[in-house]
Amino acid sequence: MNFETLLYDVADGVATITINRPDAANALSPQCALEFSQVALLCDDDPAVRAVVITGAGKMFCAGGDLSAFADAGSGSRSLLKKMAGDLHMGLSRLARTPAPVIAAVNGTAAGAGFSLVMACDLAVAAQPAVFTMAYTNAGLSPDGSSTFYMPRKIGDRRTRELMLTNRVLKADEALAWGIVNEVVPEGQALERASAIASRLAVGPTLAYGAVKTLLNGSFDQTLESQMELEARAIGDMSVTGDGQEGITAFLEKRKPAFKGS
C-alpha cells in the first residue's frame, strides 16, 4: 500500500513507520491520521511483523496536529477533529492490541499528538536533542491520542497534570528521568538504536509479548485477585503455544530457544 504522508517498510520481522511530512514538522494532517489507522491495520494483520518502530522523517519526530488544517476547516473543525482523532485512535488501539512490541524512535521534538504517540508505544528511545511538550492547552485544546490514558499510568497523575496544564518542555534527559523514554542516545542514533531493539524482539516469543501488553494495559482496571487470575490464564495459554513449548524445552536442554512467533 502506498501512502502520501507515511513511509512503511517491513524487513526481517520489523515494520518501520515513518511520519513523512518533514516540511510540516511531521504534523498530523487528516490524511496522515487516516493513513496511520491503515498502516496499523497492516501491522496487526501481517504475521511477518513481530516488532514495530515509529519515527519521523528529518529533524522532527512529530509536532502534533496540523493546526492549519483545523483553521481551514472553520466551523467544521469539530467534525474534522472528531474524524481525525477517531482515525488516530483506531490506529493506536490496533497497535496496543497487536502482539508485536511497538518502539518509538524519537529523533527530534515530540509535541502534542507526537508526545501522545510516544506515550502509547511500549518502549521509547530518544535522541539527545529531542524535547517533549504536550502543548495542547497552548492552542486552547485538550489532549488526545490516548495520552490521558497512558500518561497517568506510566508517569503518575501529578506529573501528567503538570505537563498538560503548564506545557512544561522536557529535554531528553528529563524525559528519561521521568520514565517517558527508556534511553537517550546521541543525535542521529535514535532510529538505529530502536531498530536494534526491535530486531532483537522480532526473534522473540511474539505471543508472550502480546500477553504482557494485554496484562499491563488492563492492570489498572482490575483488583489484585482478578489480575492474578488473568495472569494465571495467560501463562497457562502461553505454555501450550509453539514458543512456550520451545522455551521450556530449550531451558531444560540448556540451549538458546528458537522462537517462531507462534
Q: What is the mean pLDDT of residues 170-181?
A: 98
Q: Single out the residue of 60, 81, 69, 88 nearest to residue 142, CA to CA.
A: 81
Q: What's the pLDDT at 4?
A: 97
Q: 6-202: what fold?
A: 2-enoyl-CoA Hydratase; Chain A, domain 1 (3.90.226)
Write the CA distances from 223 to 156, 217, 218, 226, 229, integer angstroms.
Answer: 19, 14, 10, 5, 10
Domain range summary for the chain, segments of one domain joined by +? 6-202, 206-252
Active site residue 89: yes
Q: Are 103 and 36 in contact (CB under 8 A)?
A: no
pLDDT tens for 79-109 read: 999 999 999 999 999 999 999 999 999 999 9
Write the CA distances from 222 to 155, 190, 231, 234, integer angstroms.
Answer: 19, 35, 11, 15
pTM metric for this prediction = 0.96
Rg of the chain (C-alpha set): 19
The active-site residue out of 87, 89, 221, 237 is: 89
Active site residue 144: yes
The active-site residue out of 44, 66, 87, 144 is: 144
| Amino acid at site 6 | L
Q: What's the pLDDT at 2?
A: 87
